[in-house]
A and B are shown apart, each in its own frame.
Chain A
């Protein structure tokens, strides 16, 4: 990222966020990441349009989703996007002192380390979910046999990664235990505050919202994952608060409002 040229240009009106097809293709983990970025940009008050493309993963410079296309720059993943936005002069964490910034970064890594990895595990290493949800969805825009080949290739890649970090030997129960531990830590950190750093939301709030909201509102083969999150009432209240404040009444393209309509049915159960 060339920061000098970045800072010079203001945020354009036609900035776009690319993700996979909402209804048929996108998976739990990518949806969570995409929602986190959308929440972050809404919190910064930067307009963004969500564009759905079947080949979004291949368009991304790092292979990971989501990515944003702003002016003539393409930036992917939440971390680099936060830095890019900061170079343009918008930041949510400027008001934090050094120790708080360290804490914020640590908690963001906790979410990436535990929640995101657990989501990936569930999608690609749990055979039931893989058969019933992941394989049909992941390759759905493509004709046979390409759809099967692509999803097997991706599954192989993810399983290699799980093996390298030591998650391949875990059972589903152990993974859910880890999710519970992570949610407990987040819940204790949040306490009774509206946001993690009291009055103002930061990128940590956006990230946590993206993951928790997606877990709560996505239909999987079992409800165990969302049950783990529902055990912590302050987390569900937190998700509802952010949804109401940043996603309702905004443009219809936002995937959160679409999910929100189905969410209302499940959150208020």
Chain B
């Protein structure tokens, strides 16, 4: 039972532990159920992400999809759902299906297909976290897969056209958000006071929409009109991920300090350079005679300065 478990997934930004909905779902579930996971965010090293992300590695077992990872955690007795009734368990499955069918296409579209968003935010972010040659290829591949999924599941008969599909998927996503908001109502989590699998999935899908700053944000604006869902995301972030709403985590503070130090050093160097330049200017022979008295005085203040030669 105490086998160490490692989760390999995409990292985070904008106050989130991860930008990737599925990674976020698994991380949230691990926090809710108290599973001791070491999280390795994929970074700019040669350990390229193999296949599906997130990936759970425990001794020799490698598991890749969120549903399977959650099943594995439950079998290891890290179960966030043990207080749920059978009917609530059924509701969980149904709402997860609703999220996948109605919300996921619009989420994929906002991140990977909408041209402005993709080029200015998503692609640079992911490319900066993948090692060099792969960073030219992998974001493009993820974008193509997202487009493919949207068209195959929602597109009409060929030739598939994106514009008609776009309007429909955003309508569906907004309806889905409204339904979730009505279902959540005023309670803290979907099934009472403790978070469960459903909360993990909803959080995983909603938090990226809520927090990531995109140029085109129609889904985010709609979400912000549903205050109970925003409060739900913020609560989970503050309680379970110990991040303030503005997003400074403890490790973030350290990097800020290090940056400050570097900056101070740079400023000191700059001021030294400026002093030297000042010296050179005063030593220069082109100054008019009336300045000599001032120079003399200044020369008197400086030690061992060659200005002494210029004294009248």
Contact = CB atoms under 8 A, between A and B. Distances in A.
A binds B: yes
Interface of A: 62-63, 98-99, 101-103, 105-107, 109-110, 112-114, 160-161, 164-166, 181-182, 184-186, 188-189, 191
B183 A99 contact: yes
Contacts of B182: 98-99, 101-102
Binding site secondary structure of chain B:
helix
Contacts of B87: 188-189, 191
B23 to A, nearest CB: 16
Given A110-B93, A110-B97, A165-B149, A102 B156 contact: no
Contacts of A160: 152
B90 A185 contact: yes
B53 to A, nearest CB: 13
B145 A164 contact: yes
B153 interface: yes
Given A184-B90, A188-B86, 12 more contacts: A102-B179, A109-B94, A109-B100, A109-B102, A110-B94, A164-B153, A166-B65, A182-B93, A189-B90, A189-B91, A189-B94, A191-B87
A106 B149 contact: no
B94 A106 contact: yes
B185 interface: yes
Contacts, number: 71
B230 interface: no
A63 B180 contact: no
A57 to B, nearest CB: 9
Interface string B73-110: 00000000000001101110111011011100000000
A185 B149 contact: no
Given A102-B180, A164-B149, A188-B86, A109 B93 contact: no
Contacts of B98: 105-106, 109-110
Nearest to A184: B90
B157 interface: yes
A189 B148 CA distance: 34
B65 A185 contact: no
A164 B148 contact: yes
Interface string B140-158: 0000010011001100110
Contact of B101 (A63, A101, A109): A109
Given A164-B149, A188-B89, A189-B87, A114 B157 contact: no
Contacts of B145: 164
A99 B157 CA distance: 34
B69 to A, nearest CB: 14
